Amino acid sequence: MSAESWKITLPCTREEGEALAFATDPFPGMEEPPVLNTLEPDEDRPENWLVEAFTEGKPTPEVIAAVQALVPSAARLKPVVEKVEEQDWVTLSQSGLEPIRAGRFYVHTSAHGAVIPSDATVFRIDAGRAFGTGHHYTTTGCLMMLDRLKRQGARYRMIADVGTGTGLLAFAAMALWPRAHAVATDIDPVSIEVTAENAQANGVNEDRLALAVAEGVDHPLYRELAPFDLVIANILAQPLIELAPSIAATIAQGGTLILAGLLNTQAEAVTAAYRREGLRPADTIRNGDWSILMLRKRRRMR
Q: How confident is the model over 144-184, as pLDDT tens digits?
A: 999 999 999 999 999 999 999 889 999 999 999 999 999 99
Q: Report pLDDT for 241.
A: 95
Range 249-274 average pLDDT: 95
Q: Report pLDDT for 120.
A: 86
Q: How many residues comprise the chain?
A: 302
Does 139 appear as a known binding residue? yes
130 has pLDDT over 50: no
Q: 2-94 and 100-297 share one CATH topology? A: no
Cα separation, 277 vs 282, whole angstroms: 15
Is it true that the peptide bond before 41 is cis, omega within 30 degrees of 0?
no
17 has pLDDT over 80: yes
User: By CB neighbour count within 10 A (0-12 exposed, 13-18 middle, 19+ buried), where does 62 fall?
Assistant: exposed
SS3 of the chain: the string is CHHHEEEEEEEEEHHHHHHHHHCCCCCCCCCCCCEEEEECCCCCCCCEEEEEEEEECCCCHHHHHHHHHCCHHHCCCCCEEEEECCCCHHHHHHCCCCCEEECCEEEECHHHCCCCCCCCEEEECCCCCCCCCCCCHHHHHHHHHHHHHHHCCCCCCEEEEECCCCCHHHHHHHHHCCCCEEEEEECCHHHHHHHHHHHHHCCCCHHHEEEEECECCECHHHHHHCCEEEEEEECCHHHHHHCHHHHHHCEEEEEEEEEEEEEHHHHHHHHHHHHCCCEEEEEEEEECCEEEEEEEECCCCC
| Contact (Cβ atoms closer than 8 angstroms) between residue 59 and residue 81 | yes
65-79, 92-106, 189-203: segment of lowest average pLDDT: 92-106
Does 57 appear as a known binding residue? no
Does 186 appear as a known binding residue? yes
Q: Report pLDDT for 127.
A: 62
Whole-structure pTM value: 0.71
pLDDT tens digits, one per residue of 216-232:
999 999 999 999 999 99
Q: How far is CA 258 from the centre of its chain?
A: 13
Does 163 appear as a known binding residue? yes
82 has pLDDT over 80: yes
185 has pLDDT over 90: yes
Name the more confident of 93 and 263: 263
Per the CATH hierarchy, to which homologous superfamily does domain 100-297 belong? Vaccinia Virus protein VP39 (3.40.50.150)
| Contact (Cβ atoms closer than 8 angstroms) between residue 93 and residue 34 | no
Query: Architecture of domain 2-94 in CATH?
Result: 2-Layer Sandwich (3.30)
Q: How far is CA 276 from the centre of its chain?
A: 27
Range 251-277 average pLDDT: 95
Annotated domain spans of the chain: 2-94, 100-297
